[in-house]
């Protein structure tokens, strides 16, 4: 089975001979296509000496397009575009740039790869157990091939979906991936495109979906040449925190929108990815109807999504529930647009409970963290149009209780929540260890789709720091800017404290972020691994029920030894425990109930005749059908109902 995505951008081999090259450059009158080669004796990925082997004047077509048919071009040919002012630029739709973002692009034949996963149709979203990883830091080698060798271990753990942090070509040899400038080209530091295809293929053979994090709100600061020949890509009146904003609703936006819609389809159709996670949707401004997120969702649903499961996940600080709307049928709850959103509210409430930290956005969860966690687990968003103190009283979010829990991704750690700390510290370094099992149970046993960040399954001690590989001037600006950003926190008011924050551009910062896999076999890491494996085994047994939860649940806080009423007064004073109950469609009185005790004293809860599917730090209570939860205790009860 062979796959290729046809698109109006970039280079494509012709059926007869040669290749066609297309570049949208409305800002230029003349552009030449150059076939190039590495000079003899130069093999370096970046900075290799380039020799021009041939040059062809491209034909200017209506709409700002430049085209050329070159019979001499073959798979493996290196090429670039020469602007009329002499600047040489790579193809913005390059499928591969072997010599980094400033170098030439390589002409590929996507049909060269013969796929072996033709029978794979993916998995329904409620079966997802997501594992987020950074290819470069996941293994010592930091390549697609090395990551592929670890997939079998993830499958045994219970992982059903791997989410790759962005792999689009970025400047230098290391980067989180959010500074990508060539969104169609896998970064060469991880390997070649065929290596990424083998990774996806191997995951599918193990029953694992592969999701890709994509960035559609900005381009990185180094290696983006679009402004030189297609300034229409950007809106000069808008900016994001990371650079110029993409113009999705301007006079020339049709081609800009096509570029990103095709990119989404490209990764799904040509690489076989099972879904995308769109980064920072809140940083995309688009007044069009449909907007770019809706357009991408529609293209995926009406295209590859008709033949297999294709999923779309959003990061959206605005908590906009309308992107998560469902079409309710007899057998399933299908998303109209996105399957799910990363739910920061669950993380923030858990973080406050585990650490007591209340700086920054955690202030919005500081007063009643158990109550806020309950609302997040039961209804999705904590802030559903409520005023946010952190945002100076501005209202945030939309009602979400009508949505199924699978519309939300729950997590205790992600690349952001770890890496955006000054020293990249993981949650175990600052959390109350007695409460960690309860927090993990909230994430892994609740009906939301759970996500683990690489190494979290064994409580990795390695940090995940912010790292990059920019040139000297930009590197200094990034280092100093990051340190100054932390100056607003009390712990970093002293310049000496800020100076201790690791330099993102230092190779040592990247090296320190790599996982040490041998830790898994030592205490306390092996005990954490065993707990996570046990929790995921329970979750897998629950999956048929999870797929039949149609809407949010009910939650309550208990403060005394016998107060387990569903209508108990909400009170998050110290000692509070949380109960959440989700009804399951299809059978009378079928439900899942999760009880966790974050308080200092034991709490007794009622389970009636329900089946106890999991318990930790808990035991039989004062009477049949009652259980006592110690501090950090967990109880998962199943009401099976009548057939």
- Quick check: 643 and 586 in contact, CB under 8 A? no
Token output for 627? 């259980």
Give kind and range of the element (H or E) at residue 538. Answer: helix 525-546
How many whole angstroms separate alpha carbon 408 and alpha carbon 411?
Answer: 10
Catalytic residue among 179, 247, 315, 339: 315
How many whole angstroms separate alpha carbon 409 and alpha carbon 161?
Answer: 12
How many whole angstroms separate alpha carbon 591 and alpha carbon 552?
Answer: 12
Q: Give the bridge partners for 606, in sequence order.
A: 626
Catalytic residue among 279, 291, 457, 503: 279
How many whole angstroms separate alpha carbon 84 and alpha carbon 60?
Answer: 13
> Which among 98, 40, 32, 36 is positioned nearest to 72, based on CA atoms?
36
> Which among 456, 426, 458 is positioned nearest to 443, based on CA atoms?
456
Token output for 177? 């991936």
- Quick check: 132 and 414 in contact, CB under 8 A? yes
How many whole angstroms separate alpha carbon 457 and alpha carbon 520?
Answer: 9
Token output for 300? 């995926």
User: Sign of the C-alpha dihedral, residues 549, 553, 559, 565?
Assistant: negative
Residue 285 is among the residues annotated as catalytic for this protein: no
Greatest CA separation found in the chain? 86
- Quick check: 417 and 349 in contact, CB under 8 A? no
Report the relative pairing of strands 340-342 and 333-335 from DSSP bridges: unpaired
Q: Say which residues have a Cβ less than 8 Å from residue 61's Cβ, sequence separation at least 6.
A: 67
Helices (H), 62-192: 135-138, 144-148, 151-157
393 CB burial (10 A radius; 0-12, 13-18, 19+): exposed
Nearest-10 crossing angle of helices 253-269, 292-302: 40
DSSP helix/strand/coil, 298: helix
Secondary structure in 3-state letters for 412-475:
CCCHHHHHCCCCCCCHHHCCCHHHHHHHHHHHHHCCCEEEEECCHHHCCCCCCCCCCCCCHHHH
Token output for 46? 């970046």
Token output for 575? 């000692």
DSSP helix/strand/coil, 573: coil
**Cis amide leading into 492 (omega within 30):** no
Residue 163 is among the residues annotated as catalytic for this protein: no
582 CB burial (10 A radius; 0-12, 13-18, 19+): buried
In degrees rounded to 5, what are phi and psi of residue 66? -125, 130
In degrees rounded to 5, what are phi and psi of residue 613? -90, -25
How many whole angstroms separate alpha carbon 358 and alpha carbon 342?
Answer: 21
The residue with tokens 């830091």 is 137
Residues annotated catalytic, as ranges: 279, 315
């Amino acid at each position: 089975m062979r796959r290729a995505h046809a698109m109006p951008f970039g280079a494509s081999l012709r059926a007869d001979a040669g290749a066609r090259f297309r570049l949208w450059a409305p800002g230029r009158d003349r552009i030449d296509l150059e076939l190039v080669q590495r000079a003899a004796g130069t093999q370096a990925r970046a900075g290799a000496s380039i020799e021009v082997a041939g040059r062809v004047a491209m034909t200017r077509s209506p709409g700002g397009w430049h085209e050329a048919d070159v019979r001499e071009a073959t798979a493996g040919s290196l090429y670039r575009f020469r602007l009329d002012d002499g600047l040489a630029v790579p193809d913005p739709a390059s499928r591969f740039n072997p010599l980094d973002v400033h170098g030439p692009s390589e002409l590929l034949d996507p049909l060269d790869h013969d796929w072996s996963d033709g029978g794979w149709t993916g998995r329904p979203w409620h079966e997802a157990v997501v594992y987020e990883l950074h290819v470069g830091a996941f293994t010592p080698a930091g390549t697609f091939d090395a990551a592929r060798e670890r997939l079998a271990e993830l499958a045994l753990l219970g992982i059903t979906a791997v989410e790759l942090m962005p792999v689009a070509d970025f400047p230098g040899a290391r980067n989180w991936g959010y500074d990508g400038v060539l969104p169609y080209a896998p970064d060469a530091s991880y390997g070649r495109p065929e290596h990424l295809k083998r990774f996806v293929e191997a995951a599918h053979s193990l029953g694992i979906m592969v999701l890709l994090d994509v960035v559609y709100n900005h381009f990185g600061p180094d290696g983006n040449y679009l402004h030189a020949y297609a300034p229409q890509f950007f809106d000069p009146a808008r900016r994001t925190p990371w650079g110029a904003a993409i113009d999705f609703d301007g006079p020339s936006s049709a081609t800009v929108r096509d570029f990103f819609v095709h990119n989404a389809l490209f990764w799904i159709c040509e690489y076989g990815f099972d879904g995308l996670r769109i980064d920072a949707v809140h940083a995309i401004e688009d007044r069009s109807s449909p907007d770019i997120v809706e357009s991408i969702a529609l293209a995926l649903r009406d295209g590859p999504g008709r033949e297999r499961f294709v999923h779309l996940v959003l990061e959206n600080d605005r908590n906009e529930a309308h992107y998560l709307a469902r079409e309710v049928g007899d057998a399933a709850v299908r998303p109209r647009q996105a399957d799910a959103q990363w739910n920061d509210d669950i993380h923030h409430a858990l973080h406050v409970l585990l650490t007591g930290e209340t700086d920054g956005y955690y202030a919005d969860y500081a007063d009643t963290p158990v109550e806020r966690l309950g609302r997040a687990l039961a209804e999705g968003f904590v802030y559903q149009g409520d005023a946010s103190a952190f945002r100076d009283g501005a209202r945030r979010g939309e009602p979400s209780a009508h949505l199924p829990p699978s519309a939300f991704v729950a997590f205790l750690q992600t690349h952001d929540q770890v890496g955006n700390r000054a020293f990249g510290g993981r949650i175990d370094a600052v959390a109350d260890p007695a409460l960690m099992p309860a927090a993990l149970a909230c994430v892994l046993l609740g009906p939301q789709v759970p996500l683990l960040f690489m190494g979290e399954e064994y409580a990795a001690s390695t940090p995940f720091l912010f790292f990059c590989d920019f040139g000297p001037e930009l590197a200094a600006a990034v280092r100093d800017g990051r340190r100054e950003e932390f100056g607003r926190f009390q712990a970093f008011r002293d310049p000496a404290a800020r100076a201790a924050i690791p330099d993102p551009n230092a190779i040592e910062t990247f090296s320190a972020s790599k996982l040490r896999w041998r830790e898994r076999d030592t205490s306390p890491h092996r005990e954490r691994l065993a707990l996570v494996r046990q929790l995921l085994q329970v979750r897998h047994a629950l999956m048929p029920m999870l797929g039949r939860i149609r809407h949010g649940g009910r939650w309550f806080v208990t403060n005394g030894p016998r107060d387990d009423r569903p209508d108990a007064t909400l009170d998050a004073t110290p000692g509070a425990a949380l109960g959440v109950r989700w009804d399951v469609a299809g059978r009378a009185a079928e439900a899942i109930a999760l009880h966790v005790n974050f308080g200092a004293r034991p709490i007794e809860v009622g389970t009636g005749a329900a089946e106890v599917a999991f318990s930790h730090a808990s035991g039989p209570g004062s009477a049949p059908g009652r259980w006592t939860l110690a501090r950090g205790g967990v109880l998962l009860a199943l009401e099976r109902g009548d057939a």
